[in-house]
Amino acid sequence: MYPLLFRTVLQRMDPEQAHHAAFRAIRGSAAVPGLRSAVRRVTAPEYPSLRTRAFGLDLPGPFGLAAGFDKNAVGIDGLAMLGFDFVEIGTVTARPQPGNDRQRLFRLPQDRALINRMGFNNDGSAAVAARLARRRAGVRSPFRPGTVVGVNIGKTKAVPEAEAVADYVTSTERLAAHADYLVVNVSSPNTPGLRDLQEADRLRPLLGAVREAADRTTGRRVPLLVKIAPDLADEDVDSLADLALDLRLEGIIATNTTISRERLRTPAGAVAACGPGGLSGAPLKERSLQVLRRLHTRAGDRLTLIGVGGIETAEDAWRRILAGASLVQGYTALVYEGPGWPRALHRGLAERLAASPYATLSDAVGADTRTDT
């Protein structure tokens, strides 16, 4: 039914309005216990063979929802109801901000892609921290106890680069206690100057300060990851892997959206009319896989890698695992595939694992890079 709904209703709506409508439906379903359980039985059957452990956390599977869908931590249990094994919220900034002017989200159906220049629209880290604290203090989801929640933090647009470290530290101090893992986002193309922070000399003090603030405010080791862009040169990918190892980060997320517009099926004029922004979805598939493979070749199993960018099918996810991803994430394909997507992806992954020579998913992680060497 979803393809029909998408073609006849959702595709005719403004993409951002359609997102809000769909998200309200997900949250509304999760708020009704009987309906929540019924949806859960359909969308999220358990596959014991896919159980995964990453940076000290036990997950029912390797497939999570990437940051950007739930920016404000308002629908975590509803998203877990759909079958996502973990949910990354954000990007959250220290100060609340409205984001860029609308229209700021565009579909490219011929490419199964999106272009967005949302600009980190969110309620700010104080409000999101209070929301996460209330959730943790209340009754947790009975159908997915203890859903793993990642918190993705970024720079407030109005903050100058000289004050970026303090801005990230403020968000860390507020949010780290509520995060199962923490992600430093320095790779969105929609905040001016943000990607400059990926340079090793600038990134080192930022990550060091976030690490110190997380340890100081929580009294525990919160897994810390950095999310990088697919547009980096290969030597810069190597440098970031080396930096992450030197700073003893837990992992890297590869990758964010791209500013490239190469090899799109959508007519060039229609793409240009969308304007600037990050491209996500199927066109990102190969470059994100290349970055992931390079990271794993450089770091081996010393870093936990999360593969994201262009994952649509179980085969896409399986290729990321073989290339070195312990976990995978998606977002754009949810727009095009609908709520049955996590179920289909889990089923396909379980089938591929069963047909492979590997006893567990962890055995399969990085198998292709081991063969290459």
Active site residues: 188
Q: Which pair of tokens denotes residue 286?
A: 């190969």
Identity of residue 156: T
CB atoms inside a 10 Å sphere around CB 295: 27
Element (H, E) at 285: helix 285-299
Distance separating alpha carbons of residues 259 and 11, to the nearest angstrom: 24
For 26, 134, 136, 174, 317, the CA distances from 139, given in Å and listed in that order, are: 19, 10, 7, 22, 32
Signed CA dihedral, 270, 185, 242, 59: sign only: negative
Residue the block writes with tokens 């754009």? 332
Distance separating alpha carbons of residues 147 and 65, to the nearest angstrom: 12
The closest alpha carbon to 311, from 282, 343, 352, belongs to 282
Q: Which pair of tokens denotes residue 352?
A: 């591929």
Q: How do strand 63-65 and strand 325-330 relate by DSSP bridges?
A: parallel
- Cβ(210)–Cβ(169) under 8 Å? yes
Distance separating alpha carbons of residues 282 and 289, to the nearest angstrom: 12
